Structure 1
Amino acid sequence: MDVKRFFRIASSALVAFTVVVVVAVGTTYWWGGRKLERTVEVPLQPVAIPTGAAQIAHGRYLYESRGCMDCHGANGGGKQVFDEANGFRVRAPDITRANPAIDRYTPEDWDRAIRHGVAPSGRPLLVMPSEDYNRLSNEDFGALVAYLRSLPPAGGQPGEVHLPWFVQGMYGAGVIKDAAEKIDHSLPPAPAVAAAVNVRYGAYVAESCKGCHGANLRGGHIPGAPPDWPPASNLQPGHAMKAYPTAEQFVAMMRTGKRPDGTDVSRVMPFSAFAKMNDTDLNALYLFLTTR
C-alpha cells in the first residue's frame, strides 16, 4: 500500500470515527434532556401529618441527622451544593413556605418528593437522594414533614440544577441514574421500627447510607458526584468496618470524622449530620454493619 493511499484511508477512518462519536454524544445528551422531562407515575396513599410538639421535635432530629440539613441548610432556606469549574451547579431550594412552590405542597407532594424523588408535576428530581428516604415509615415521614411545615419563612430561593454536557450525556446513557429510576415505587412504606440497639433497627437507619454507598452498601463511585470525589467505602462485612473493632470507635468516627488511628475519613461524608445522630441510632447502625 502506498503512503498516500494509507493516509487517505486513515483520514477517512478518523472522520468516520469522529462522526460516530459526535452522533453518540449528541444522542445521549438529547436523551438526557428527554429523561429530565419525563413523567413518573407514583402510587400514593394519604399520610396524616402530625401537629404535636413531640412529633415535630422528632422531625427536627431526622432533618438534622439524616442529611437533609446538609443540602437545604439549618433553616431550610437552601444552599449551594455543587459549583464546579466544569459547570456542574446545584443549588438546593428553600423548602420553607417562603418558596411559593413549596408553600403549595400537599402531603402527597411531600411524599412524591421525599420518598420517591418526583416533583408534584411528575418530573424526576434529579439530585434529590430519595433512595435514602424511600423506606421511611409513615410515622417518621409524617414527623419530618411536620417539622418542615413548622419552619419560619427563609429566603424563598428556588433550586437550580445545571448539568455539563458530558454529565447530561452520561445521564441519557444510563450511566448516571436519578433516584426515581432506582426506587421500586410499588413498595408500600416501611412499617414503623422501634428505636433500639438491634440489627433490625440498624438496618432501618442504614437506609440513609444507600444514596452514596449503594443499595447493597458495597460502595464504589458515587453516581452523579463530581469527578474528584473519592469512591464510597464498601460497608459489607470484612471491608471498611474492619477499622472499627468496637462500637465506641465507630461512634467516635461518626462524630469526629476521624478513624481510630487519627486519619481523616473522606471529606465528602456528611459528618455535620452524623454527629447529630443519637447513641441508639449509631450503635444500632454499627451492630447491623458488623453482624450481617
Structure 2
Amino acid sequence: MQKVVVLLALASLSACGTEQTNQSREAAEAMPASLVFDGADYKDQAAKLAHGKRLAEVLHCNSCHGDNLQGTNVTADDPEYGDMNAPNLTLVHANYSDADFERLLRKGMPKDGRDLWFMPSESYQFLGDADMAALISYVRSFKPEGKQLPPIRKGKGFLAEVEAGAIQNAALQTKRYAAEAPEDLGPAHARGRDIVRMACTGCHNSKLQGYEGFTPNLDVAAAYTPAELETLLTTGEGKSKPDLGLMKVIVLESLSKMTPAERQAVIGYIKARADRPQQPQ
C-alpha cells in the first residue's frame, strides 16, 4: 500500500532481570532532543507558530491530515486494505489539553484509550520540548472547520497484515523505537542522528535498516556523494533515476522543508553511517 508508514512487530520482552535493564535503556534513549531543529529558540508567538508549521511539514503531519488539518483517507486508493482515516484535527484540539496532545504524540496513546494506527509517535517521541510546544500551538491555531471523518475501517489487507505481525499500533511501535536507535557516531554527528530519528525512521525503520519490500537500509547512501544526497533531499531525484516514487513525494512534501543546516547534518550522519566499517556477517 502507498503513502502509509509500514510498521513491524515489537520483539518479545526478556525475562525480569533483562527487562529492568531494557527499561532503563529505553528511558535514556527516549530523552527528547534539545534545539535540534532550527527555529526552536523562538522568542514570540508568531515565530512559535511559524516553527510549528514548518515542523508539521518536515514531520509529514500534512501528508495524512492535509494542509488544512481537516483529515484525509490515506488509503483511499486501496479500498480492500480499508479506510485509514486521519482525523480532522481542527475538530479535535478543543477537547485535548496540551498534556493530552503530548501523550498522544510521544506515546501513541489517544485520550479515549483506543488503539491508534499509522500515527508516527515512534518518531515524534524524540521531539524537544520547544518543538513539541510549537507543533501543538500550530494545531490549535486552526479554527474548527469541516466534518469529522469516520473511524478507520479495517479491510482485508489491514487485518491480514495485523495477523501476520507486519504492523502494530502506535503505542507498541513507540516502545520498540525507544528501545532501538540508529548507531551513535559521536558528537560530530549527534544533531544529524537526532533529526534522522524524527524525520527518517518512520519509513526506514528504527535503526535505518529499512523494511523488507518497502524501504532500503540507508547503507545505500554509501553509493551517493554528499552533493547527490543534497539533490535527493531537495528534489526527490535519485542517482539512477529521477522519479523514486513515494520517496519523491515525501521529499517534495516534507523533507525539502528542512533548513540547509538541518539537511547538511542529516547528510553528514547518513554518509558517516553508510561509510563506517561493516561488521563481518
Quickly say closer, same or farther: Cα 1:159–1:288, change in 2 above 3 A.
Answer: farther
Q: Which whole-Å CA distance do the structure 1 matches of 2:120 and 2:150 have between them?
A: 15
Does the Cα contact within 8 Å between 1:51 and 1:146 map onto a contact in 2? no
C-alpha distance after superposition, 1:6-32 (max 9, x if no partner): xxxxxxxxxxxxxxxxxxxxxxxxxxx
**Does the CA-based 8 Å contact 1:234-1:240 persist in structure 2?**
yes
* Aligned with 1:243 (options 214, 223, 228): 223
147 and 198 in structure 1: CA distance in 2 versus 1, 3 angstrom threshold? farther
| Partner SS state of residue 120, structure 1 | coil
Distance 1:212 1:129 in 2: 10
Give structure 2 stretches of 5+ with no counterpart: 1-26, 28-42, 179-186, 274-281
2:256 corresponds to which of 275, 278, 281? 275
Structure 1 residue 81: Cα displacement: 0.9
Structure 1 residue 198 displacement after superposition:
4.9
Letter in 1 for 2:254: A
In the other structure, the counterpart of 2:35 is none
Shift, 1:156, TM fit:
3.5
Q: CA deviation at 1:123?
A: 2.2
Provide the secondary structure at the position in 2 that maps to 1:199: helix
Contact 1:87–1:164 (Cα < 8 Å) also in 2: yes
Q: CA deviation at 1:264?
A: 1.8
Shift of 1:281: 1.4
Is the aligned partner of 1:156 residue 2:137?
no
Q: Does 1:60 align with 2:53?
A: yes
Greater radius of gyration (CA): 1
2:103 aligns with 112
Q: For residues 68-108 of structure 1, what are the alpha-carbon distances to aligned partners after superposition, in whole Å with 9 as ceiling and x for unaligned?
A: 11111111111221121414221211111xx1x43211112
SS of residue in 1 equivalent to 2:84:
strand
The aligned counterpart of 1:285 is 266
Query: Which residue of 1 is the match for residue 80 of structure 2?
Result: 86
The residue type paired with residue 205 of structure 1 is I
Q: CA deviation at 1:158?
A: 3.1
SS of 1:202's equivalent in the other structure is helix
Partner Cα separation in structure 2 for residue 249 and residue 270 of structure 1: 17
Q: 1:173 to 1:244 in 2, by over 3 A?
A: closer
The one-letter code of the counterpart of 1:202 is G
Q: TM-score, normalised by structure 1?
A: 0.68
What is the aligned length? 220
Instruction: Tell me, yes or no, if the aligned pair for 2:80 and 2:156 is still in contact at 8 Å.
Output: no
AA of the residue aligned to 1:77: Q
Cα distance between partner residues in 1 of 2:70 and 2:223: 37
Q: Alpha carbons of 1:85 and 1:79: their partners in 2 closer, same or farther (altered >3 Å)?
A: closer
Give the AA of the match of 1:259: G
1:263 aligns with 2:242: yes
1:121 aligns with 2:112: yes
User: What is the deviation of 1:150?
Assistant: 1.0
Q: Residue 177 of structure 1 aligns to which amino acid in structure 2?
A: Q
1:266 Cα deviation from its structure 2 partner: 3.3
CA distance, structure 2, for counterparts of residue 277 and residue 113 of structure 1: 24
Higher relative contact order structure (alpha carbons within 8 Å, sequence separation ≥ 6): 2
Does structure 2 retain, via aligned residues, the 8 Å contact 1:128–1:179? yes
How many angstroms apart in 1 are the aligned matches of 2:154 and 2:66? Answer: 22
Measure, in 2, the Cα distance between the counterparts of 1:51 and 1:80. 35
Using the size of structure 2 for normalisation, the TM-score is 0.71
Q: Secondary structure at the match of 2:172?
A: helix
Report the secondary structure of 2:215's partner residue: coil
- Cα deviation, residue 205, structure 1: 0.8
Structure 2 CA distance for partners of 1:108 and 1:173, relative to 1, 3 Å: farther
Q: Does 1:205 align with 2:198?
A: no
The CA deviation string for residues 100-120 of structure 1, in whole angstroms up to 9 with x for no partner, is x43211112111221111110
Aligned alpha-carbon RMSD (Å): 2.6
Instruction: Give me the identity figure in percent.
Output: 29
Cα contact 1:76–1:154 (8 A) shared by 2: no
| Residue 95 (1) aligns with residue 76 (2) | no
2:215 alignment partner AA: A
Select the residue among 216, 232, 236 that pairs with 1:233. Answer: 216
8 Å CA contact 1:244–1:250 kept in 2: the answer is yes
